[in-house]
Amino acid sequence: MKVIEVKGLTKSFGQFTAVDHLTFHVLKGEIFGFLGANGAGKTTAMRILCGLLSPTSGGGTVAGYDIRTQSEEIKRNIGYMSQKFSLYNDLTARENIMFYGGLYDIPRKELKQRSEALLDRLGLTPYASKLLKDLPLGWKQKLAFSVAIQHSPSIVFLDEPTGGVDPITRRQFWDMIYEAADRGLTIFVTTHYMDEAEYCDRVSIMVDGKIAALDTPAALKIQFQSEDMDEVFRKLARSAVRTADH
């Protein structure tokens, strides 16, 4: 089953084509790495896929809904987490769960039960009434991820989820991603850590608004005669004509 399927997806701002005819799909339960240099068009593409921006031409579906006509349904059926924006530091762990659950219209009674179950599963029950800012970074991240998927979306978008995180916490976070994918959740993730690109089932690399390569990490390394994904990335990104400024 395809959770994302897009064809000829294009977004222009005036003369500038930020996203140029993207055609690709993402399967259910897949961990899909979405890479590209700064300015390659990743953010614009993600915004379209999340229903925040309408394409200039081309289209497709996300979670079964049409990108052009059903952006509200898309927003309800996806999860989103970024390092920069996720939880509220001045709310407690429990309040954060309740708040986000409320946004997604989870009935209050059910939400209460579910938050307690979630806190319990994360081992956070003793700290549920602590302000988020007083929790260690690793816990916050686990909570942010769990909150982003508590409304049972079919896909979760993770925008550089591990920036600035210590190397152990970074790997614990990937353990969570693996487990969630194992349960059938589709993961769409961007990262600047090329070792993390290796953990993805398939990886796409954007250059100048287009997808320059898309395959499993193993196949990409063969295709570009590279030792690791860092080298694949460098070979491709160096071919870029445009910079982030235009």
Q: How far is the CB of 111 from another protein (least distance, A)?
A: 31
Q: How far is the CB of 68 from another protein (least distance, A)?
A: 28
**170: closest CA among 110, 83, 240?**
83
Binding range to another protein, per CB under 8 A, among 17-25, 32-40, 71-79, 90-98:
32-40
Interface with another protein, residue 116, by CB under 8 A: no
Q: Dihedrals φ, ψ of 60, to 5°?
A: 155, -165
Q: How far is the CB of 48 from another protein (least distance, A)?
A: 20
Q: Contact at 8 Å (CB) between 196 and 174?
A: yes
Q: How far is the CB of 64 from another protein (least distance, A)?
A: 27
Instruction: Give the nearer residue to another protein in terms of CB position, either 103 or 137.
Output: 137
Distances (CA, A) of 27 to 144, 169, 174, 188, 230: 24, 27, 19, 10, 25
* DSSP class per residue in 133-201: GGS-HHHHHHHHHHHHTTT--SEEEEESTTTT--HHHHHHHHHHHHHHHHTT-EEEEE-S-HHHHTTSS
Torsion sign, CA atoms 234, 235, 237, 241: positive
Rg from Cα positions in the chain = 18
Instruction: Give the nearer residue to another protein in terms of CB position, either 126 or 245.
Output: 245
Interface with another protein, residue 173, by CB under 8 A: no
Binding range to another protein, per CB under 8 A, among 8-16, 67-75, 104-112, 174-182:
174-182
Binding range to another protein, per CB under 8 A, among 45-53, 72-80, 110-118, 228-236:
228-236
Interface with another protein, residue 238, by CB under 8 A: yes
Q: Which of residues 183-212 bind another protein (CB under 8 A)?
A: 192, 194-195, 198-199
Give the pair of three-digit tokens for residue 209: 């608004």
Binding range to another protein, per CB under 8 A, among 19-27, 90-98, 101-109, 159-167:
159-167
Instruction: Give the nearer residue to another protein in terms of CB position, either 35 or 106.
Output: 35
Binding range to another protein, per CB under 8 A, among 20-28, 60-68, 94-102, 164-172:
164-172
Q: Which of residues 34-93 bind another protein (CB under 8 A)?
A: 36-39
Q: How far is the CB of 39 from another protein (least distance, A)?
A: 6
Give every CB contact of residue 2 below 8 A, 6+ residues apart in sequence: 25, 26, 27, 28, 61
State the virtual CA torsion across 22, 72, 244, 232 in degrees, nearest 10: -50
> 138: number of CA atoms within 13 Å, CB side?
13
Q: Dihedrals φ, ψ of 11, to 5°?
A: -135, 120
Residue ranges binding another protein (CB under 8 A) = 36-39, 137, 160, 163-169, 171, 174, 178, 182, 192, 194-195, 198-199, 217-218, 228-230, 233-234, 237-238, 243-245
